[in-house]
Structure 1
Amino acid sequence: MSSTKQDLLQARAPTLPSKTTPEQRYWRSYITPQLIKENHPITSIEFNPTTPNDFAIASATKIQVFSSKTRQVIKTFSRFKDVVYSGNYRYDGKLLVASDASGLVSIYDSYQPRNLLVSLTPSSHPTHVAKFHPTIGNQLITGSDDRMLRVYDISQTSNGPIIQFDNIDHEDYIRSVNFIPGDSNLIVTGCYDGNVRILDIRDPHRVVAKFDQENPVEDILAVSSNTLVSAGGPYVKIWDLNRMSQIHQLNNFNKSTTCLSNTHTNGLMVGSLDSTIKVFDYTSTNWQVQFGWKFGSGVLSCGVSPINQKHFVAGLTSGLISIRTKKTEPKVKQGIKNDVSGGYARMMKGRDYTGEEEDHIIESSKIITNKTNKSVNELMSSYKKYLGASGSIDDIKPNDLKQEISQCLKAKEICGMLELLGV
């Protein structure tokens, strides 16, 4: 009779646990995610540059400010008639500027949502970006769908923009504007015509440099004075501003990249419509991937707390806000802390004190000292001899003698303490 032959199981060596890098352990410390659902996509996330780094999130016709301590809404800016596209804090954190789909640009007191300070209408087209200058507090730059870039002095807005880049060849909508650190006069723009342009405020009629992204540019970020990053299409390009050429390209995404953010720890955070956010090390030559997250829908905005990197926030196309908080490290103990308070320790300090050399401890029927041991009878005979009495002292009992001696010792200690105090 024939029988079926059983398949032999392939022998496998035991697998070792995968090694984790310090960067992976760092990003995995962002735990306790808090999810908040809004009815519209999250178009902007902006952190206040000053302590305690509260963050403003734009969605639909409002901007909500979340507390960095409680992760709850503490302020709401809702005086908008159309979808809010951007929110940006001034470098001192006192002013908040917002732009919406009606073309309106509003400047608020960041601590008083009802206090509208300045209202501008640079264009009847949607204004997708409005940002304060990083070092000049009264300058504001706006970019609209009319393909115009404008610079305002917020202290005198009645005369219109102080600079208008009207002869620059933007061939499509302006989607992002940023400043290059180290030079307060240079501005970089990202446009839907697929080009990144560097402009000079001192000469608004000339393009300093122009880079080809080959896809509509969604966001731009200068990570240093000579390194520029642009996001557009399914990849991210890195440009060297000294050589005015491309030095690297990141091809780690399946769909269009939408947002860039500096992690403030030598990392570049990139969000994409493929529902992922990845962190790249921009100090390495090949811009190695450090970590990544996967979300339920496309990512439109992201950011990390600038000072202590306490929170990592992501905004999705579904209207979901994900707030992750870094796990706090336990405080290092300075020395060994006592289990009881200092007052209790002082109170119990002398409980085991056995006395000095001349101090006596009475036990049973003997008096014990460090020098001699005398019986009670010997001490009584000496006591009789000292008093010069013969009859009445015989009636003294050993217990009464012990009490008398104890009281004498206490009096001796008190006298010694008073002598030390100089009384």
Structure 2
Amino acid sequence: MASYKPVVIQSYPKLGEKITQDTLYWKSYKTPIQIKEFGAVTKVDFSPLAPYNYAVTASTRIHIYSRYSQEPIKTFSRFKDTAYCGSFRDDGRLLVAGSEDCAVRLFDIGGKAALRQFDGHNKAVHVVGFTSDKYRIVSGSDDHTSRLWDIPNATEIVSYREHTDYIRCGCTSKLNADLFVTGSYDHTVKVFDARMEKGVMSMEHGQPVESVLLYPSEALLVSAGGRYVKVWDMLKGGQLLVSLRNHHKTVTCLCLSSSGQRLLSGSLDRHVKVYSTTNYKVVHSFDYAASVLSLALAPEDETIVVGMTNSVLNVRHRKQEERKEPMSKRRQRRPAYRFFMKGKDYMPKQEDIFVSKPVKNHLQKYDKLLKGFQVSLALDAALEPHLRAKTPEVAVAVMQELNRRGTLKNALAGRDEKQLSVLLTFLLRNFIEPRFAPVLIHVAELIIDIYLPVVGQSTVIDKQFLKLQELLENEMDYEQELLEVLGMMDMLFATMTTKKSATTQKDQANGASQGLAQDSNSTSP
């Protein structure tokens, strides 16, 4: 007698997002750590030196957190009012911050009090940063001015008043110590050179600018404001290359990955989008519990830190890859007898006979019952809670197999109220699934034929039958609406095709008449 062949569980395409290398890369973070701050987190900045601690600016304080313990190792709280834009210098030894009290303060990481205080702005200073030569500071204020300060002498070098509204973002060049960029609520992004008296370049963003970012090569500039993220070509005088609109609310912050091949943007819509810098398509998205105000990535993308409006700091660490143990520490198998007789490099000859050990097939519970022709119990086994919830395709495959054998009606008949309720619950959950509909519709018809005489004897079963009827009617209504929409679209496409062909014929006729006119002109004396 031929051996029993197990039921083939059909594999269906998984619905949902497409799994790509970016999906796997950006999902390889541990469960986020939530840290409560004293106010909305407006700035996160990583130290450029190991162990890459990060400064968090919130309310009237700047905390420096350890990247591994997530505990504050340093706090700067000598601010009379709200602090802004706490940023590290390239050597990680100094930190600069603006404030609501119009002052720019410089701190030593090892100290507490400010080393320098730069006074000159008459409104809140939201933007500060170091130039690449480490001896100057750039600031931007709500008084519409951007200024350059000398650190050793604590004096102002130059001041620019080219913006007509608040300056809320800026960045400095890493390649040229004299270049810096500012973004303003007057919808413009301006590039300044400290050697010039005026700005050297201006770009119209079209919305209040919330964040600006220079690529490592500094050939491209990214600006964010409103719902737009725009990329500008600096080598072509600030020409607009790409305009992205993937957020539903204002974009507040920008960040580049360690490789420079991915651009991240955070928004008030509680999402962080990851773009590919080759085609500027969204390759991944993070969801957060509140609006995103600040965003930063550690070197090698090992940590991603997001600050939100609800005063919560969200920290995600990448999972460490498991290291493989060396061969000496692994448990080695004892070589087989033939290894000693033939050697590990022995090649089988033509006259050799290979005797294989028969492989025993382990059958599932429903397969064992089907093998014994216990069709009703086999269907019950396929409808067990853990199977019908996680893998409904198993129950559908068993039903299909019973239908092929011609015993499906026998398996469905003779059930009590509890067993019938389980079967109807499964139908209600999966009936409208396109993957299972052809099989389950036939099952529903058989159930109605079998149990129609007993309808009205159980309130639970009656309610489930009514739900099944309602579900089917709703599905039919949806299909009717879809058919109407499809008819409208067909009519629109047909109209567009007719207009296009008529235009083409008209152009051809005009071309022919022009050709005839030219021929007549050429033949006239």
Q: Give the TM-score normalised by the residue count of structure 2.
A: 0.59
Task: Verify the 8 A CA contact 1:141 1:149 in the aligned structure 2.
Answer: yes
Paired position in structure 1 for 2:227: 234
Paired position in structure 2 for 1:210: 202
> Offset of 1:338 from its aligned partner?
6.0
Matches of residues 283-302 of structure 1 in structure 2 within 5 Å? 284=278, 286-302=279-295
Instruction: Name which of 154, 161, 175 aligns with 2:156.
Output: 161
SS in structure 1 at match of 2:236 = coil
> Offset of 1:24 from its aligned partner?
1.0
Matches of residues 59-98 of structure 1 in structure 2 within 5 Å? 59-98=58-97
> Offset of 1:59 from its aligned partner?
0.7
Question: Structure 2 CA distance, aligned partners of 1:19 and 1:192?
Answer: 38
Question: Structure 2 CA distance, aligned partners of 1:162 and 1:150?
Answer: 8
Cα-to-partner distance string for 1:354-407 (whole Å, 9 max, x where unaligned): xxxxxxxxxxxxxxxxxxxxxxxxxxxxxxxxxxxxxxxxxxxxxxxxxxxxxx
Paired position in structure 2 for 1:189: 182
Task: Verify the 8 A CA contact 2:292 2:307 in the aligned structure 1.
Answer: yes
Letter of the aligned partner of 1:122 in structure 2? G
* Structure with greater contact order relative to length (CA < 8 Å, sep ≥ 6): 1
Gaps of 5+ in 2: 1-9, 333-525
> Offset of 1:200 from its aligned partner?
1.0
> Offset of 1:179 from its aligned partner?
2.0
Paired position in structure 2 for 1:131: 129
> Offset of 1:227 from its aligned partner?
0.5
Task: Verify the 8 A CA contact 1:44 1:58 in the aligned structure 2.
Answer: yes
Paired position in structure 1 for 2:323: 331
Paired position in structure 1 for 2:501: none
> Offset of 1:186 from its aligned partner?
1.8
Paired position in structure 1 for 2:352: none
Matches of residues 168-179 of structure 1 in structure 2 within 5 Å? 169-179=162-172
SS in structure 2 at match of 1:242 = helix
Question: Structure 2 CA distance, aligned partners of 1:221 and 1:72?
Answer: 29
> Offset of 1:156 from its aligned partner?
0.4
Question: Structure 2 CA distance, aligned partners of 1:16 and 1:58?
Answer: 43
> Offset of 1:262 from its aligned partner?
1.4
Q: Does residue 1:221 correspond to 2:213, yes or no?
A: yes
Q: Does residue 1:278 correspond to 2:273, yes or no?
A: yes
Letter of the aligned partner of 1:314 in structure 2? V
Question: Structure 1 CA distance, aligned partners of 2:159 and 2:199?
Answer: 13
Cα-to-partner distance string for 1:134-169 (whole Å, 9 max, x where unaligned): x21111111111111111111001xx3112224xx2
Paired position in structure 2 for 1:30: 29
Cα-to-partner distance string for 1:191-215 (whole Å, 9 max, x where unaligned): 1100011111110x22211111100
Paired position in structure 1 for 2:309: 317
Paired position in structure 1 for 2:263: 268
Task: Verify the 8 A CA contact 2:100 2:123 in the aligned structure 1.
Answer: yes
SS in structure 2 at match of 1:49 = coil
Letter of the aligned partner of 1:145 in structure 2? D
Q: Does residue 1:253 correspond to 2:250, yes or no?
A: no
Question: Structure 2 CA distance, aligned partners of 1:62 and 1:319?
Answer: 12
SS in structure 1 at match of 2:200 = strand
> Offset of 1:20 from its aligned partner?
1.5
SS in structure 1 at match of 2:235 = coil
Question: Structure 2 CA distance, aligned partners of 1:21 and 1:300?
Answer: 28
Q: Does residue 1:51 correspond to 2:59, yes or no?
A: no
Question: Structure 2 CA distance, aligned partners of 1:195 and 1:277?
Answer: 24
Task: Verify the 8 A CA contact 2:130 2:172 in the aligned structure 1.
Answer: no
SS in structure 2 at match of 1:225 = coil
Task: Verify the 8 A CA contact 2:60 2:77 in the aligned structure 1.
Answer: yes
Instruction: Name which of 271, 296, 299 aligns with 1:303.
Output: 296
Letter of the aligned partner of 1:235 in structure 2? Y
Task: Verify the 8 A CA contact 1:259 1:271 in the aligned structure 2.
Answer: yes
**Bigger strand fraction:** 1
SS in structure 2 at match of 1:24 = helix
SS in structure 1 at match of 2:170 = strand
Task: Verify the 8 A CA contact 1:263 1:303 in the aligned structure 2.
Answer: no
Letter of the aligned partner of 2:283 in structure 1? Q
> Offset of 1:38 from its aligned partner?
2.5
Question: Structure 2 CA distance, aligned partners of 1:228 and 1:130?
Answer: 18
> Offset of 1:183 from its aligned partner?
2.8
Task: Verify the 8 A CA contact 1:37 1:319 in the aligned structure 2.
Answer: yes
> Offset of 1:295 from its aligned partner?
1.2
Letter of the aligned partner of 1:128 in structure 2? H
Question: Structure 1 CA distance, aligned partners of 2:327 and 2:102?
Answer: 61
Identity %: 34
Q: Give the TM-score normalised by the residue count of structure 1.
A: 0.72
Paired position in structure 1 for 2:510: none
Question: Structure 1 CA distance, aligned partners of 2:130 and 2:230?
Answer: 25
SS in structure 1 at match of 2:120 = coil
Task: Verify the 8 A CA contact 2:129 2:172 in the aligned structure 1.
Answer: no
Question: Structure 2 CA distance, aligned partners of 1:197 and 1:181?
Answer: 17
Question: Structure 2 CA distance, aligned partners of 1:181 and 1:52?
Answer: 22
Letter of the aligned partner of 2:164 in structure 1? E
Gaps of 5+ in 1: 1-11, 341-423
**Bigger helix fraction:** 2
> Offset of 1:76 from its aligned partner?
1.0
Question: Structure 2 CA distance, aligned partners of 1:13 and 1:309?
Answer: 36
Q: Which runs of 4+ in 1 moved over 4 A?
A: none
Letter of the aligned partner of 1:131 in structure 2? G
Task: Verify the 8 A CA contact 2:78 2:113 in the aligned structure 1.
Answer: no
Question: Structure 2 CA distance, aligned partners of 1:181 and 1:101?
Answer: 27
